[in-house]
Structures are given as structure tokens and as C-alpha cells.
Amino acid sequence: MKVFKIPEATVMRLSVYSRYLYQLGREGVETVSSGDIAKGVGVSSAQVRKDLAYFGEFGTRGVGYKVEELYNHIIKILGLDQQWNVMIVGAGKLGSALALYQGFAERGFNITTVLDVDENIIGTKLGNIEVEPLEVLETRVKERNITIGVVAVPASAAQDVTDQLIKAGVKAILNFSPRVLKVPREVVLRNVDLSVNLEVLSFNLVFNS
């Protein structure tokens, strides 16, 4: 259904809107205006309308949006009306923080498997998950129907782990290593560089002062 390109910033805001709508739904709110959403999440109402317009007409003029309907629609757009099985490779500080992060399961991401090469870590438990050796990567991807691989290994191992994940059948990679990874065109890649976030702050501290 690749019709036109949706900016990534829009996708990220949809994710934020959906959380806000979820909260409103739980509070019993039935309809909401673009202005309310804007105020609730801290963007302009023009931006909210523009973001939602990518996916067709939702609202009723003067009435606004039905909270539940809009929520369900966004969840579907984000692919969160289904479960995604996730493997984390690397059970260091970051990998284990990710494995234990409650927010993933709430949004339909099942961390099913965590792998590492360190014999002191293999066999330990992160919540309900026992860390397993890297050798079982391919077997686990196949038997657990894993679509998303999270790369939380040192830079030097990142490309090799990524190649193994893709060879095993993973369709999307979330890369936390500082290395630029090569993946085939059909694989979805997203890089999360934690220092970039601090650099956006320092840029703004300097630039806006």
C-alpha cells in the first residue's frame, strides 16, 4: 500500500497522539478537537490536522474527532493492532534495560528472546526471559516467528549480528550501536543513537542563547 511517503516525524507524532487518546478514553472523554490534542501533547493544532490528513478524513467539522475511533485508526496505521515478536541481541546494560522496559509489551512488542556471547550473562534472567547464547539466533527467529531484531551490541559486532538477523528472516532492525549498518533495501532499519539526543540539546542551548 506504499502510496506516498509519510514523514517519520509524522509517524512519531501519531504515536504520541495515540497515547494521549488512550488516556482520554480511559478518562471517559468521547470527542476531542485537534486543538485539544494539540494542547495535550504540545504541538500546534494545524500540525495535528496536517498529520491526520495524511490518512484521510476523520473529524466532523465543529464537533471534532471521536476518541475511540481515532485511537483505533491510529493504532492500525502504526501496525499496533497486531503483535510483533522481538529479539534483543546484546544483554549488557542497554540490552537488559530494553528487555525489562515495560513500555514495549504495552504497545504490542513481545520481547521473546535475548541473546549474548558473554558466558557470565548467558543463563541469567531478565524478568521472565533467560539470556541465551548467540548460537541459537537463527533457530529462535524461525521458531518464535521474530520480525524485529534489536541490535544492542558493541559497534564492532553490530554488522555481523545484523547480517545474522537478516539471514534468519528478521524484517526490521532497531540499531542502538553507534555504527552505520548496511541492510538490504527490503529490510526496515532504524538507528537510535543515544548521544544524538544530548547533541540536539547542546545545539539548542548554544543556538537559542
List interacting residues with a second copy (CB under 8 A): 1-2, 6, 8-9, 11-12, 14-16, 19-20, 40-42, 77-80, 84, 86, 92-94, 96-98, 100-101, 103-104, 106-109, 147-148, 171-172, 174, 178, 180, 188, 190, 192-209
CB 60, min distance to a second copy, A: 26
Is 177 in contact with 116 (CB distance < 8 Å)?
no
- Residue with smaller CB distance to a second copy, 120 or 202: 202
- Residue with smaller CB distance to a second copy, 62 or 128: 128
CB 95, min distance to a second copy, A: 9
CB 133, min distance to a second copy, A: 22
- Residue with smaller CB distance to a second copy, 23 or 60: 23
Who's near 143: CB < 8 A, 6+ residues apart? none
CB atoms within 10 A of CB 117: 15
CB 123, min distance to a second copy, A: 19
Q: CA angle, corner 146, sides to 122 and 94, nearest 5?
A: 45
- Residue with smaller CB distance to a second copy, 62 or 205: 205
